Structure 1
Amino acid sequence: MSERGGLREMRAPRRWAVWGTTAWAAGILVLLVVLPLSMREFYGDRLATHWGGSGKPDGSLPLWAAAVAPAAVWAVLAAVAVFWRAARRWRAAVLVSGGVLLAGGQVSIVRANLHHADWRDAAPVSVGAVVTVFAAAAAGCVAWRVSRRPATAPASRGQGARMEIPEGERRVWLSRTANPWLRLVAAVTGAVAAVAPLVGTGGATASMWLLIVPFAVASAAVLVCSSVRVRVGERGVDVAFGPLGWPVRRWDAADVEWARAERRTPAQVGGWGYRLSGLGTTVMLRAGECLVIRAGGKNFAVSVDDAERGAALLNSLAGARTEGT
């Protein structure tokens, strides 16, 4: 591998981190401003923004201020997290937890004010506040665990060893991996989607879908990426996702150019779950050994145990298929 190629691959995770941070910051900013303004026909010119111990609103802001104030707080928070070098260690946790907290708070405020011309009649937000704080804390913990892992240099580009298979024998390799933190995130977001219709009126109103749909989709997506099962056999390799083993990605042995074991970290590939980076596609469930498959000119990696043995078997099967054609 050339020095230039190695530097390019080492810089790829940084580029993805920059783009990811930019997209997250911009997305939260847009949500904070657009959400209350887009629903202005369903409430008055002032929104309840503070509730007392009795659950009754005791403070309000004009509609424009209710949109601008949290956006300004987010802009300052994001700027400090990004540009203050002393905060670099906590940057991911601050941005993720702060974004979830402000976005959840804005959703709760908008929902509480819907269909109330007078802000004094706004609904309570106690349940939404508790859910938002819990979700922000969980998201911050996950982001901190990801960001504190140091990046490592890419592994060598060898094509991997082969396994000696005696004539007449058939061999199969299986490996499973699950990430309990991703399962926790899926459970939390799924609980938010399930509990939302029960809050307030006891039924899912139009405003609640602003909360239900994003959390339900996020829960399903995270759950699918929280576990993986890899099988290498005579047909090739199958990678099954989620507790139900679906969806499944398959490669025929004849289409595999090579396979190898390689150590990767979430910091290298841009986080947990199904990631796209300069290293190709990676299913990152835990830092460490990954099975890397080269097929169709693209790399696919999945973090599973005993990856070296699986790669050796796949190389042997791929070589046998190629030689037999």
Structure 2
Amino acid sequence: MLRRAILLAGGPLAALLAFAAAALLAGDLPDPIATHWGVGGEPDGRMPLWIFVAAVAVAELVAWGGLVWQARARGAAGLRLTVAPYAWATLAFLTALGLITLAANDGAADWRAADEVGLPSVALALAAGALAGLAAWALERGRPLGEPGRGDGVGSSSGDDVALAPGERVVWSRALVSRPAVVGAVVLGGGLLVAAVVVGGPGGWGLALGGVVAAIAAGALTEIVVTVDRRGLAIAYGPFGWPRQTVPLAEIAGAEPTMIDPWRVGGWGYRKARPGMTAVVLRGGEGLRIVRVDGRELLVTIPDAAAGAALLNALRTRG
């Protein structure tokens, strides 16, 4: 409980720190303040103080809101908050960048007279973000990714037939996180955000927006949760379980565990492996093969696939 409270309190505290620093320095800051510096470290962009503080606060609250959103969905079951490292890294980077900006303007008679800010300062903000992300990861690393399967015989990997009583409700659920995809999403989104800081101006805002969109799009394939129940198969993508793909039980002709080689299905990610076959590949190895009644196939990499296939076949037979 204490670790979860620390994680959720980080966002408001970071925003409060930025606001408090702005309030303490407001009397010694020019109006407007310097908010961008050239390659040589000289200020070349400005912004009213209140707009700058509001932009930092809104960005931080958005990052914190994503963490709270996931906590509401997973907190009751004690599952890992996989978005926590991204949220903390974003909060720390923005707060550090905001404090560096305010400190450079402190005591300047005009925004053009602000202290120089160069790449070492940006590197310092990046280091703060990286350390915060690692701290959040360390706080959550021991928690499970998904809920264990429930019901007689469903939690095992034996693949034996599952006996279901009439009306019995059984759920099998497994989660999988792709570390390479996580690194790729962070590098893509973070790289565009750093480029936005360096470019500044309207172009910088465009890069920042692009970084957010790119990180969200790439984040959809950083993790999946596969669930089997009386309705059929469901795949929830990304830290927030969206988008969500479903295959109704009535459309399933059969299911079986299989070994998936990414090189044979067109690579990693969401793939059209060949006509009539779709693959969701986060890593090579164990996976689930679903055959629909119309002949189409769905492959998805997931651990304990034998138990999931056994339950799907049992539900299909009973239905």
> What is the TM-score when the length of structure 1 is the normalising length?
0.46
> What is the TM-score when the length of structure 2 is the normalising length?
0.46
